[in-house]
Amino acid sequence: MDQNVKLHTELLGKATVEALKKNCFQAEYLPDAASAKKRLLEMIPAGASVGFGGSATIKYLDIKEELAKRNCVCYDHNAAKDPEEAQEIRRKQLTCDIFLSGSNAVTRDGRLYNVDGRGNRVAAMIFGPREVIIVAGANKIVANLEEAEERVYGYAAPINNIRIGTDNPCVRIGHCMDCSTPKRICNVATIFHKCPVGMKTTVLVVGEALGY
Ligand code: SF4
C-alpha cells in the first residue's frame, strides 16, 4: 500500500475506533488482516461456541481450522447439509458464546449500518450471544448514515448477490433495483447508534480493505 494511503487509512481507522468507543462499543484498531486474525483468535477462548454470520470478512480471515483445534463449536449455516439444518444453525447462533460478523458500513461517528435478507445476522448482532465481535475493514468506513445506505445499495448488496449467486436484478445492472424477488437479500436494515445495553460488542477496525 502507498505510504500516504496507509497513513490516511490509519488516521481514519483510529478516529473511527475513538468514535465507536464514545458510543459504548469496545473497539480496537488493527493495521492489517493478519493482526486482526491474531487478535480475533486471542479473543475466542478454547471450547467456546462460535456463530458465523455469513460475513465475507470473517471467511477471509480463515479461523475455523484453528477454532476446531481448540475444541470450539462452530455454528456456520453455510456449512449445513440442507436448508433445515441451516435454519437450526441460525437459531443456535442467537445463543452462542461469541458471534462473529462484519458490518456493511461503519460511520465516522461510530454507528453501524447493516442490511440482511433473513434477519438472523442482524438479530444475533443485537442480542443473544454472550459476546459479539465485528470485524470491519477500513473500506467500510463512511461519512454518515446516508453514505452507509448508498454504500450498501450501490455496492455491497449487488456484490453480495454476485457472491452468493442470486439472479436478483442488481447483478445485471450493478446497483439496487428495489426488487421483490424471493431471493432478495435486503429485507431488514439496522442502525446501531450505540452499543445495546448489556451487550459486550467489540468492533475491530482493520487498516485494509476486507469484504464488500
Ligand atoms: S433489494 Fe434486490 S435489487 Fe436491491 S440490492 Fe437487494 S437484492 Fe439487489
**Residues of the domain holding 157:** 3-206
- Does 46 map to a domain? yes
The H-assigned helical ranges of the chain are 3-22, 33-43, 56-61, 64-69, 83-93, 120-126, 145-151, 157-164, 170-173
156 within ligand 1 shell (Cβ under 6 A): no
Asked if residue 211 belongs to a domain, the reply is: no
Q: Tell me if 58 CB under 6 Å of ligand 1.
A: no
* 41-67 tens-digit pLDDT: 999 999 999 999 999 999 999 999 999
At residue 1, the pLDDT reads: 79
Contact in structure between 96 and 50 (CB atoms under 8 Å): yes
Residue 149 lies in a domain: yes
Does residue 136 lie within any of the structural domains?
yes
107 belongs to a structural domain: yes
User: Ligand 1: which of 176, 180, 187, 188 to mutate, most ligand atoms within 8 Å of CB?
Assistant: 176
Within-domain flag for 86: yes
Residue labelled with grid coordinates 473511527 = 16
- The pTM of this model reads 0.95
Number of domains in the chain: 1
* Cβ neighbours, 10 Å, residue 169: 17
Q: Is residue 212 part of a domain?
A: no
- Please tell me the residue having the least CA distance from ligand 1 atom 8: 170
Intervals of the chain under pLDDT 50? none
CATH number, residue 78: 3.40.50.10420
Distance 1 CA to ligand 1 centre (A): 32
Tell whether ligand 1 has an atom less than 6 A from the beta carbon of residue 177: yes
Residue 25: what pLDDT? 98
User: Does any domain span residue 38?
Assistant: yes
